Chains A and B, each alone.
Chain A
């Protein structure tokens, strides 16, 4: 398809129009990020009067100075790291052995164990029974509630189980001859062979944990335990709920808008740093493996 001489004049026109349209969509995707960054570096008065379009107006670091001295910001940032790292490790500790066991032909009642997992994709009890259950387990307002309560999902287990099933049994036979047990076979044969699939699941977990806010918002009351997204939501709510009230927050140097934008920027930076690593897995097709089974 890359042979350019095969294109007629009409094709060249079509290709150019298409390039322009894709370019416009790309710019439209990029623009909100640039706009938010510009607002975060503008003065409160400038942001409030709506003159910021592309670049900072009356450039200042005041909004950043305002949030970087708030202990809640740092505490919630630290909590997000705890939930992301702790939650991802917990997920892998449960999902990898579980997926391995479900992939083994000698597992008795394998069909039924798999059904128990898959059924949760089709039916779930919903928000209220889940919340009541967390409360009854004593997991409200607890780090462990967030870390364990959301550790597993059926999709990740099935994705990994399918990957394990696709590994030819010849790989494990040599290890079995040497008298390796199941733990050793999982650790020394299956995990090394499944790096791309495990990386994909790790990616899903990290992204979900970093971005999760709803359950953190309703399970955690203690302000010392909330993650960054909940802290961010609180400042956004102040901005939108009560437009008159937030006007009192304007000083000449920063306003609710610029502070809000600055927190958004601080929260996106780690995602941007992580992004090149994420990209490596986009086109390997593994992300799609789960879609089709």
Chain B
């Protein structure tokens, strides 16, 4: 018997014995190919003059023309800039918030108070983006909203915040913190719970205060977790929650609010320029891929914990 025959015989034996595993695997793989890999084949329209009638394969190739159009389009450049700025603000303000919150929870000794506060601050994570937007729009409404009501007590005239470009970013970042800071603190609380108690015991013997222990023991101990979360965040830098942007922005605030994904949504889904929008999406996906890969490489090198 040749090697090949041996191998194929072994394969037949294997499938006879283990076919059940492949039956179990099939639905998931069929799903991935139908819903995630077929669209990757469809991505070629980014390099084509796509027409619905000719279909994906039948449309003519035009090279990088769409990308050229995009980079000459001020709206697209603006969308990239806005995405970068919102991501930077997220990193600056939304990232540290759950860490600070976790450190503060850790210093609460009354378990009843701590549990109660946690129950409440985790809750917004479970409400939808639409509801979040509904709350924001109601609260910031010029005539009826609580924000203007309170400003009115101090004699400030009503402001229509959601039509002011300069207010979009603070409102967007602020509502993100309101929704996610609490729930995101769980990861850091778990890290704090894992700190070796003997470190604190010997610090107490040395007469250290709570404040000193937090800075000298707790924060250094959870630094690896902070780093991992930071790397994950950098990998997902482009994923500003554009669903919230779609719900909160309006033409008057596009200047600061329009991000790459909302640009794609308007060009593609609303105006039907599928090929151009697919090109913008491909650009987005490639940058995201590079970020994720870089983040993982850095993580591997410095913490010996790769993300996957």
Given contacts A14-B209, A116-B32, A22 and B130 within 8 Å (CB-CB): no
Q: Inter-chain contact count A-B, CB under 8 Å? A: 292
Asked if A131 and B268 sit within 8 Å, CB to CB, the answer is yes
Residues of A near B120 (CB, < 8 A) are 26, 29-30
Residues of B near A243 (CB, < 8 A) are 142-143, 160
Asked if A129 and B42 sit within 8 Å, CB to CB, the answer is yes
A22–B232 alpha-carbon span in the complex (Å): 27
Say which size band chain B's interface belongs to.
35 or more
A268–B128 alpha-carbon span in the complex (Å): 9
Asked if A128 and B277 sit within 8 Å, CB to CB, the answer is yes
Q: Which of A252-270 contact B (CB under 8 A)?
A: 255, 257, 260-261, 263-264, 267-268
Residues of A near B137 (CB, < 8 A) are 236, 239-240, 260
* Interface stretch (choices A61-69, A166-174, A192-200, A209-217): A209-217
Whether, in the assembled complex, B308 has its beta carbon less than 8 Å from a beta carbon of chain A, the answer is: yes
Instruction: Write the chain A residue with the least CB distance to B110.
Output: A19
Asked if B124 and A29 sit within 8 Å, CB to CB, the answer is yes
Asked if A18 and B39 sit within 8 Å, CB to CB, the answer is no
Asked if A32 and B277 sit within 8 Å, CB to CB, the answer is no
Whether, in the assembled complex, A207 has its beta carbon less than 8 Å from a beta carbon of chain B, the answer is: yes
* Interface stretch (choices B70-78, B80-88, B278-286): B278-286
Residues of B near A248 (CB, < 8 A) are none
Asked if A129 and B40 sit within 8 Å, CB to CB, the answer is yes
Main secondary structure of the interface of B (DSSP, over half): helix
Residues of A near B190 (CB, < 8 A) are 285, 288
Whether, in the assembled complex, B156 has its beta carbon less than 8 Å from a beta carbon of chain A, the answer is: no
Asked if A240 and B243 sit within 8 Å, CB to CB, the answer is no
Asked if A50 and B148 sit within 8 Å, CB to CB, the answer is yes
A212–B130 alpha-carbon span in the complex (Å): 9
A102–B123 alpha-carbon span in the complex (Å): 34
Say which size band chain A's interface belongs to.
35 or more
Asked if A98 and B27 sit within 8 Å, CB to CB, the answer is yes
Asked if A101 and B24 sit within 8 Å, CB to CB, the answer is yes
Ordered by A's residue number, 25 sampled pairs between the chains whose C-beta atoms are within 8 Å are A18-B107, A28-B178, A30-B120, A36-B138, A49-B144, A93-B27, A100-B24, A106-B18, A125-B39, A125-B43, A125-B285, A126-B43, A127-B265, A127-B268, A129-B42, A152-B31, A181-B20, A211-B127, A211-B128, A243-B160, A267-B131, A275-B123, A291-B187, A291-B232, A292-B305
**6 nearest interchain CB pairs?**
A98-B28, A126-B281, A211-B128, A101-B25, A125-B39, A129-B39
Known A-B contacts: A116-B32, A127-B264. Give 18 more (CB < 8 A): A1-B109, A14-B107, A35-B135, A94-B28, A104-B21, A122-B292, A126-B282, A129-B42, A131-B268, A133-B38, A133-B39, A182-B21, A229-B130, A229-B131, A239-B138, A271-B126, A271-B127, A292-B228
Binding site for B on A (CB under 8 A): 1-2, 4, 6-8, 10-11, 14-15, 18-19, 21-23, 25-26, 28-30, 32-33, 35-36, 39, 47-53, 93-95, 97-102, 104, 106-108, 113, 116-118, 120-133, 137, 148-149, 151-152, 157-158, 181-183, 186, 207, 210-214, 218, 229, 232-233, 236, 239-241, 243, 255, 257, 260-261, 263-264, 267-268, 271, 275, 278-279, 282-283, 285, 287-288, 291-293
Binding site for A on B (CB under 8 A): 14, 18, 20-22, 24-25, 27-29, 31-32, 34-40, 42-43, 45, 56, 101, 104-105, 107-110, 113, 116-117, 119-124, 126-131, 133-135, 137-139, 141-146, 148-149, 152, 160, 162, 178, 182, 186-187, 190, 197, 200, 204, 209-211, 228, 232, 243, 246-247, 250, 261, 264-265, 268-269, 274, 277-278, 281-282, 284-285, 288-289, 292-293, 305, 307-308
